[in-house]
């Protein structure tokens, strides 16, 4: 029959899906978000809609059949029954019954859903960008009627755990401070993760955002981030939940737990893994040239602030500075720092980061503005402090996310950096090539590389023949 086969049988409208699953629109949206089901736009809408041109929302029939066997649906129905009983008990002022109902509130676990959606750890790590952005955003919000205190606390805990992993694994690669927030990029297990964190400021109640939808995403991302953190911690020999390196108690109190989720204290390791050294790499092999460069960059990053002790004034952004300094091997502390290892009067302090005029100074330490730390990290070398002294006009804060490809706009400051770094004449000439000649130039370079590979292969073949006595 017409409209009973083909494309018409592959799709189902949202209203029909609601009737089939016996769910309200709110619960249906919640279920689709948790399970990763989204609507589709049919190629032939008129056929799917049985000749009608009315705009409707369509889902795949196989997706709705997949949702029909989901155990979370029964939990949604149990929650409705719980709400009805709770309202009844409150109306009758039965306090004991209300307390008993609240203690037996129906809940559900999302770890099974996470494993279903991400059977492999690599796939979960690949989709972690959105989870980090949303969890860091929720961690800065106050709890309201729509945002539960438990959800906000979990976001703050998990983001602090992820920051501690970035510090211990030295995975941070790029940082850029913009008007929108602070952009981070890290390389974790071969995957490049990029996320944004808002500036540290007071956030009031927000009414322009529909948190009923975002809170469901946050609920799933909390479960995803918790499982990822557990796997990442154990992969580098850290305890999970994390513990302090100098802790002797098996169980932590609230003060010690607050120190763990700060960024100024190192974490305890189960079995310190052996670090890769440069002599272990086969530098003669062409395939390892890129690996050697990455290794040298990682070593320069880890030793950037070694033997440097930083004190952060109260007006400075502490989270980003502590994250960078600890990643680069430095020590950091500030006023009322949970787990701080030194005070402002410590004689070992070499740098004090300020962002306001000072009344008193100490000649034994260097006073700099926060941008110095970020610029040094992006360039992998300590810059002169003269341009970053308190009250000085700061140089432009260049984004490390831009690619210096030929033909694109290159800021004058970036060109000056390339000049100062040395051995960049060829790269600068490539950037100045006109667009119409760039394709020919790249073709010539590919030919040169191909001939070099052929010559190297012939040399290796000749060496093997000579060693075999042919």
DSSP string covering 307-321, please?
A: T-EEEE-TTS-HHHH
- 162 against 202, higher pLDDT: 162
Report the range out of 96-100, 217-221, 343-347, 451-455 with the highest average pLDDT.
217-221
Q: How far apart are CA 387 and CA 354, in angstroms?
A: 14
Residue 195 is encoded by which pair of tokens?
A: 């996320």
pLDDT at 410: 64
Task: Give the pLDDT band of residue 185 (cuts 50, 70, 90).
Answer: very high
> Which CB contacts under 8 angstroms, 24+ apart, belong to 233-238?
233/161, 233/165, 235/189, 236/165, 236/168, 236/169, 236/269, 236/273, 237/269, 237/270, 237/271, 237/272, 237/273, 238/165, 238/168, 238/267, 238/268, 238/269, 238/270
Kindly state the percentage of the chain with pLDDT values over 90: 41
The number of angstroms, rounded, from the C-alpha of 453 to the middle of its chain's C-alpha atoms is: 39
In this predicted structure, the answer to whether residue 286 has a pLDDT above a threshold of 90 is no
**Statement: residue 217 has pLDDT above 50:** yes
Burial code of 52-70, b = ≥16 C-beta within 10 A, e = fewer? eeeeeebbbeebbeebeeb
Residue 136's pLDDT is: 94
**Do the beta carbons of residue 97 and residue 82 sit within 8 Å?**
no
| Predicted confidence band of residue 274 (pLDDT cuts 50, 70, 90) | very low
User: What is 417-460 written as a DSSP string?
Assistant: HHHHH-S-HHHHHHHTS-HHHHHHHHHHHHHHHHHHHHHHHHHH
Name residue, tokens 């009031």: 204
Share of the chain above pLDDT 70, in %: 85
**pLDDT score for 112:** 92
Q: How far apart are the first and last CA of the chain?
A: 78
For the chain, the structural domain boundaries read: 7-69, 74-104, 110-261, 307-379
Per-residue pLDDT tens digits for 47-100: 877 777 778 888 999 999 999 999 999 999 999 999 999 999 999 888 899 999
237: left (phi over 0), alpha (psi -120 to 50) or beta: left
Residues 398, 411 contacting (CB under 8 angstroms): yes
Q: What is the pLDDT of residue 278?
A: 47
- Please report the pLDDT score of residue 419 as a whole number: 64
Containing 221, the helix (H) or strand (E) segment is helix 211-235
Residue pLDDT, tens place only, 352-370 = 999 888 888 888 899 999 9
CA 444 to chain CA centroid, Å, is 39
DSSP 87: H
Q: pLDDT per residue over 384-423, tens digit each?
A: 899 999 988 898 888 888 765 555 566 666 666 666 655 4
Q: Which of 159, 164, 197 is nearest to 178 (CA)?
A: 197
The confidence score (pLDDT) of residue 290 equals 66
- Does the pLDDT at position 439 exceed 50? yes
307-379 belongs to CATH 3.40.50.10190: yes
Q: Of 23-32, 49-58, 425-434, 447-456, which gets the smallest average pLDDT?
A: 425-434
C-alpha distances (whole Å) from 183 to each of 266, 316, 446 are 24, 17, 35
Alpha-carbon distance of 14 to 1, in angstroms, equals 23
Query: Please, is 434 exposed, middle or buried when counting C-beta atoms within 10 Å of its C-beta (0-12, 13-18, 19+)?
Result: exposed
Average pLDDT, the chain: 84
User: Does position 275 have pLDDT exceeding 70, yes or no?
Assistant: no
Q: What is the per-residue pLDDT for 418? A: 63
Q: Is the pLDDT of residue 221 over 90?
A: yes
pLDDT for res 194: 94
Q: What is the pLDDT of residues 298-326, one digit of tens each?
A: 787 888 899 899 999 999 999 999 999 99
pLDDT per residue over 105-138, tens digit each?
Answer: 888 889 999 999 999 999 999 999 999 999 999 9
pLDDT of residue 447: 87
CB atoms within 10 A of CB 462: 11
Top-confidence residue, 438 or 169:
169
pTM of the shown model = 0.80
């Amino acid at each position: 029959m017409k409209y009973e086969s083909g494309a018409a049988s592959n799709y189902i409208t949202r209203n029909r899906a609601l009737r089939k699953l016996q769910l309200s629109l709110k619960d249906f949206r919640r279920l689709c978000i948790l399970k990763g089901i989204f609507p589709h736009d049919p190629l032939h809408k008129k056929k799917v809609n049985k000749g009608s041109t009315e705009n409707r929302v369509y889902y795949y029939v196989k997706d709705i059949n997949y949702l029909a066997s989901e155990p979370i649906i029964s939990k949604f129905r149990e929650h409705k029954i719980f709400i009805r009983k709770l309202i009844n008990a409150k109306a009758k002022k039965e306090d004991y019954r209300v307390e008993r109902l609240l203690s037996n509130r129906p809940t559900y676990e999302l770890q099974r859903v996470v494993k279903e959606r991400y059977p492999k750890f690599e796939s979960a790590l690949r989709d972690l960008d959105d989870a980090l952005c949303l969890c860091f955003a929720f961690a800065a919000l106050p709890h309201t009627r729509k945002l539960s205190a438990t959800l906000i606390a979990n976001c703050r805990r998990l983001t602090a755990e992820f920051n501690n992993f970035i510090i211990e694994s030295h995975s941070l690669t790029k940082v850029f401070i913009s008007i929108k927030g602070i952009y981070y990029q890290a390389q974790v297990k071969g995957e490049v993760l990029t996320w944004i964190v808002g500036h540290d400021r007071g956030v009031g109640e927000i009414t322009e955002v529909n948190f009923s939808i975002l809170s469901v995403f946050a609920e799933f991302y909390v479960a995803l981030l918790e499982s990822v953190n557990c796997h990442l911690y154990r992969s580098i020999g850290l305890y999970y939940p994390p513990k302090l390196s100098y802790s002797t108690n098996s169980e932590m109190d609230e003060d010690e737990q607050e120190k763990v989720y700060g960024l100024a204290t190192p974490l305890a390791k189960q079995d310190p893994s052996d670090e890769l050294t440069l002599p272990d790499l086969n530098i003669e092999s062409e395939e390892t040239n890129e690996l050697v460069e990455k290794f040298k960059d990682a070593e320069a990053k880890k030793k950037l602030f070694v033997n440097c002790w930083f004190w952060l004034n109260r007006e400075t952004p502490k989270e980003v500075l502590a994250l960078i300094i600890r990643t680069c091997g430095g020590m950091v502390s500030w006023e009322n720092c949970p787990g701080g290892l030194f005070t402002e009067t410590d004689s070992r302090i070499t740098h004090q980061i300020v962002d306001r005029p000072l009344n008193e100074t100490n000649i034994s330490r260097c006073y700099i503005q926060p941008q110095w730390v970020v610029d040094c990290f992006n360039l992998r070398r300590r810059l002169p402090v003269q341009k970053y002294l308190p009250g000085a006009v700061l140089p432009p804060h260049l984004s490390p996310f831009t690619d210096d490809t030929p033909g694109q706009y290159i800021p004058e400051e970036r060109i000056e950096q390339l000049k100062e770094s040395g051995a960049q004449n060829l790269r600068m000439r490539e950037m100045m090539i006109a667009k119409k000649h760039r394709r020919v130039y790249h073709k010539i370079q590919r030919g040169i590389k191909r001939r070099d590979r052929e010559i190297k292969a012939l040399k290796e073949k000749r060496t093997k023949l000579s060693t075999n006595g042919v």
